[in-house]
Structure 1
Amino acid sequence: MVTRTSNVRVVEARYIEQRIPRYKGNPLIEALPPVPTDEALIKQLLRLPDFDVEQREWPTEDRLQMVGGLSMFLLPLERHIRLARALDTLVRGGYVGRAPSTPEYARIYQALYEAQQQGVAFLEMVETPDESQLSSSLIGMSGVGKTTALRRIFRRYPSTIYHPEHHVYQVPFLHIEAPHDGLSVKGLAGSILRKLDLLVPDSDFYDTYVNTRGRSSGEMLLINLAAHAMHTYCVGALIVDEIQNLSNRGTSKSTLMSALVSATNQLGVPIIFVGTTKALDVLGLNYRQGRRSVGHGFQTWNAFATSRDLADPDEWEDFVSVLWQYQWIANPVQLTQHLSDALYFCCQGVPDLAIKIFACAQWRAMLEETEIFSVHSFNAIMKDELAIVEPMLDAIRTGNTKLLRQYDDIPHLKFDTLLDNALGQYQGVMQPGANIRPGDPEFGPAVADVLIAAGIDESRAKTLAKRVEADNKVVGIVAGAKAALTIAQPKPARRGDSTKKEADKQEVSLAPDDLRNAFRLSKADGLSVLEHLTTMGAACRLEEVLGLV
Structure 2
Amino acid sequence: MNKSLMLPSGILAEEADYKDQIIDEYNNNPFIQALPIIRDKEEIVTILSQNLKISKKELELDEYVRIHMLQRIYKGVFQVLPIHIKVFNMIDTLMRQGYIDRNPFNPEYIRHINKLGNKLINKDFSMSVNSNFITTASCGLLIGFSGMGKTRIVNKVLEKIPQLIYHNSYSNTDFNAIQVTWIKLEAPHNSSLKALSLNFIMKIDELIGSRNMERYAVKNLSVDAMLPIMGQLANNINLGLLVIDELQHLNKNTSQIMNYFVALMNTFGVPILLIGTPACYDMLTGELRIARRVTGSGEIIWNNMQNDKEFRLFINGIWKNQYVRNKTKLDEEMINLFYEKTQGISDLVVKLFVNTQKVAIERNIETITKDLVEKVWAKEFKLLSPMIGSIQTKNKAKMFQYNDIKVIDGRVFDTKDNVKAFMGNKNGISGQKNIIGQDKKTKVTKSKIKIDSLDCEDIRRIVIEGIKEGKSNYQSLLDTGVITDIEIIFKEQII
Measure, in 1, the Cα distance between the counterparts of 2:123 and 2:130.
14
Measure, in 1, the Cα distance between the counterparts of 2:402 and 2:303.
15
Partner in structure 2 of residue 496 of structure 1? none
Is the 2:167–2:177 contact (alpha carbons within 8 Å) kept by the matching residues of 1? Answer: yes
Deviation (angstroms), 1:124:
5.3
Partner in structure 1 of residue 255 of structure 2? 254
Measure, in 2, the Cα distance between the counterparts of 1:296 and 1:141.
20
Deviation (angstroms), 1:120:
3.3
- C-alpha spacing 1:124/1:256, structure 2 compared with 1 (3 Å): farther
1:363 aligns to 2:370 (yes or no): no
The one-letter code of the counterpart of 2:224 is M
1:198 aligns to 2:203 (yes or no): no
Measure, in 2, the Cα distance between the counterparts of 1:369 and 1:113.
68
Is the 1:53–1:328 contact (alpha carbons within 8 Å) kept by the matching residues of 2? Answer: no
Partner in structure 2 of residue 417 of structure 1? none
Structure with higher RCO (Cα < 8 A, 6+ apart): 2
Structure 1's unaligned 5+ residue stretches are 308-313, 411-549
- C-alpha spacing 1:161/1:331, structure 2 compared with 1 (3 Å): same
1:187 aligns to 2:188 (yes or no): no
Measure, in 1, the Cα distance between the counterparts of 2:24 and 2:156.
29
Partner in structure 2 of residue 154 of structure 1? 158
Partner in structure 2 of residue 218 of structure 1? 222
The one-letter code of the counterpart of 1:323 is I
Partner in structure 1 of residue 50 of structure 2? 47
> What SS is found at the alignment partner of 1:342?
helix
Measure, in 2, the Cα distance between the counterparts of 1:241 and 1:296.
17
Is the 2:59–2:66 contact (alpha carbons within 8 Å) kept by the matching residues of 1? Answer: yes
Is the 1:9–1:159 contact (alpha carbons within 8 Å) kept by the matching residues of 2? Answer: no
Partner in structure 2 of residue 306 of structure 1? 307
Measure, in 1, the Cα distance between the counterparts of 2:145 and 2:278.
6
Deviation (angstroms), 1:374:
1.9
1:89 aligns to 2:93 (yes or no): yes
Deviation (angstroms), 1:12:
1.0
- C-alpha spacing 1:182/1:121, structure 2 compared with 1 (3 Å): farther
* Aligned 1:23-62 pairs, distance under 5 A: 23-62=26-65
Is the 1:246–1:282 contact (alpha carbons within 8 Å) kept by the matching residues of 2? Answer: no
Structure 2's unaligned 5+ residue stretches are 170-174, 406-495
Is the 1:243–1:282 contact (alpha carbons within 8 Å) kept by the matching residues of 2? Answer: no
Is the 1:143–1:350 contact (alpha carbons within 8 Å) kept by the matching residues of 2? Answer: yes
Measure, in 2, the Cα distance between the counterparts of 1:110 and 1:17.
29
1:68 aligns to 2:76 (yes or no): no
1:139 aligns to 2:143 (yes or no): yes
Partner in structure 2 of residue 528 of structure 1? none
* Aligned 1:324-363 pairs, distance under 5 A: 324-363=319-358
Measure, in 2, the Cα distance between the counterparts of 1:57 and 1:277.
45
How many pairs are equivalent? 395
Alignment deviations for residues 465-493 of structure 1 (CA, whole Å, 9 cap, x no partner): xxxxxxxxxxxxxxxxxxxxxxxxxxxxx
Greater C-alpha Rg? 1
Deviation (angstroms), 1:119:
4.0
> What SS is found at the alignment partner of 1:335?
coil
Measure, in 2, the Cα distance between the counterparts of 1:124 and 1:348.
51
Is the 1:303–1:348 contact (alpha carbons within 8 Å) kept by the matching residues of 2? Answer: yes
- C-alpha spacing 1:162/1:356, structure 2 compared with 1 (3 Å): same
* Aligned 1:98-177 pairs, distance under 5 A: 98-113=102-117, 115-116=119-120, 117=122, 119-123=124-128, 125-129=130-134, 131-132=136-137, 134-165=138-169, 166-177=175-186
Deviation (angstroms), 1:208:
2.2
Is the 1:346–1:378 contact (alpha carbons within 8 Å) kept by the matching residues of 2? Answer: no
- C-alpha spacing 1:130/1:282, structure 2 compared with 1 (3 Å): same
Alignment deviations for residues 190-213 of structure 1 (CA, whole Å, 9 cap, x no partner): 11111111222x312123211x32
> What SS is found at the alignment partner of 2:322?
coil
- C-alpha spacing 1:25/1:277, structure 2 compared with 1 (3 Å): same
Measure, in 2, the Cα distance between the counterparts of 1:244 and 1:402.
20
Is the 1:392–1:408 contact (alpha carbons within 8 Å) kept by the matching residues of 2? Answer: no
Measure, in 2, the Cα distance between the counterparts of 1:178 and 1:401.
28
Measure, in 1, the Cα distance between the counterparts of 2:193 and 2:364.
55
Measure, in 1, the Cα distance between the counterparts of 2:257 and 2:29.
32
1:208 aligns to 2:227 (yes or no): no
Alignment deviations for residues 19-60 of structure 1 (CA, whole Å, 9 cap, x no partner): 312111100000001112322211111122342243211111
- C-alpha spacing 1:140/1:127, structure 2 compared with 1 (3 Å): farther
Alignment deviations for residues 405-452 of structure 1 (CA, whole Å, 9 cap, x no partner): 322338xxxxxxxxxxxxxxxxxxxxxxxxxxxxxxxxxxxxxxxxxx
Partner in structure 1 of residue 433 of structure 2? none
Alignment deviations for residues 330-369 of structure 1 (CA, whole Å, 9 cap, x no partner): 1111111001100011111011110000000000001111
Measure, in 2, the Cα distance between the counterparts of 1:352 and 1:139.
16
Deviation (angstroms), 1:295:
5.2
The one-letter code of the counterpart of 1:331 is N
Deviation (angstroms), 1:118:
6.1
TM-score by length of 2: 0.76
Alignment deviations for residues 140-182 of structure 1 (CA, whole Å, 9 cap, x no partner): 1111111111110111100111112322111111111113x23
Is the 1:276–1:409 contact (alpha carbons within 8 Å) kept by the matching residues of 2? Answer: yes
- C-alpha spacing 1:337/1:37, structure 2 compared with 1 (3 Å): same
- C-alpha spacing 1:119/1:78, structure 2 compared with 1 (3 Å): same
> What SS is found at the alignment partner of 1:175?
strand
Measure, in 2, the Cα distance between the counterparts of 1:295 and 1:402.
32
Measure, in 2, the Cα distance between the counterparts of 1:171 and 1:78.
28
1:281 aligns to 2:282 (yes or no): yes
- Aligned CA RMSD, in angstroms, stands at 1.9
